[in-house]
Amino acid sequence: MNSWSRRRKRIILAIVFFVLVVLVGVPVFFLFYRAPTCFDGRQNGDEAGVDCGGSCQLLCRAESLPLIVKGDPRILTLATSTYQVVVLVENANNSAEIYRAGYVLKIYDTVSVIPVKTIKGEAYVPAGSVFAVFEGPFSLEGEVIPNRATLEWDESTLVWRKNVASPPELTAADIVLSRETTSPRLEAVIGNLTLANVSNIDLTAVISDAEDNIFAASKTFIDNLPAGSENPVIFTWPRAFDREAVETGIIIRVFPDRSFIR
């Protein structure tokens, strides 16, 4: 066999191989190939971890700042054997939120190392803001008098997701506290300065003394606040304050949906 015949045979075999690759290999590749996604349980694409970071909506734990509890939870007395507990928490992540952060509040009295009451709950953590974890009213039987509380997060629920949307611009104005020595009442006007309606607005009023300790808190809710409008709100307490109110504040949080309302 001369050299030209051998070359021709090689060329034919190369062409046949190329055709097989195109007709068989390429379809097989696309049949089994799966493009990287943020839900495939693997670290691929531009992810910084498994299904987190990069272009994924979820942040990896190492990319987020921890929640900051601003002081110990405060136990507030509403009436004999009836209490509330409130604690302020800061999320320093300006572009990340947690849809449902699970927590446990443990209430202790002066003599026992075992909690006299344990409360489990979930909180929506808005991006870049301070929010209130608020529970109550609840009752304690007998002569139990609570004097301290702790807040523990369920780490498995602290799933950070990106939220780069601008929050609605809501304001609290004309805040007036009255009747402190009888039946305290706090009035305010909540304004919506944005160009869209805002729904599911959670409002927590906190009253602090000269040492910056919260000694009273109350909640209310606005279903819907049209764009550019205002809504008066009132917070009340059933008994007189036992100390002078030095600072009043209203913490505004917009829930992502109505499932958080209770």
* 14, pLDDT greater than 70: no
Give pLDDT, residue 260.
Answer: 82
Report pLDDT digits (tens) over 207-227.
999 999 999 999 999 999 999
Report pLDDT digits (tens) over 148-200.
999 999 999 999 999 888 899 999 999 999 999 999 999 999 999 999 999 99
DSSP-assigned states of every residue in 8-57: HHHHHHHHHHHHHIIIIIHHHHHHH-----TTSSS--TT-SBTTBSTTSS
Query: How confident is the model over 40-58, as a mean pLDDT?
Result: 82
More confident residue, 58 or 189: 189
Select from 181, 216, 221, 228 the least CA-distant residue to 199: 221
**Number of residues that this document lists for the chain:** 262
pLDDT confidence band for 65 (50 / 70 / 90): very high
* 233, pLDDT greater than 80: yes
Q: DSSP E strands: which ranges in the chain?
A: 68-69, 74-79, 82-91, 96-109, 117-125, 129-139, 146-153, 160-162, 170-178, 185-192, 198-208, 214-225, 230-236, 247-254
Could you give the percent of the chain with pLDDT greater than 90?
67
Could you give the percent of the chain with pLDDT greater than 70?
86
Residue 85 in contact with residue 143, Cβ under 8 Å? no
Give pLDDT, residue 22.
Answer: 57
Mean pLDDT of the chain: 89
Q: Please tell me the least confidently modeled range out of 83-97, 139-153, 215-229.
A: 139-153
pTM score, two decimals?
Answer: 0.83
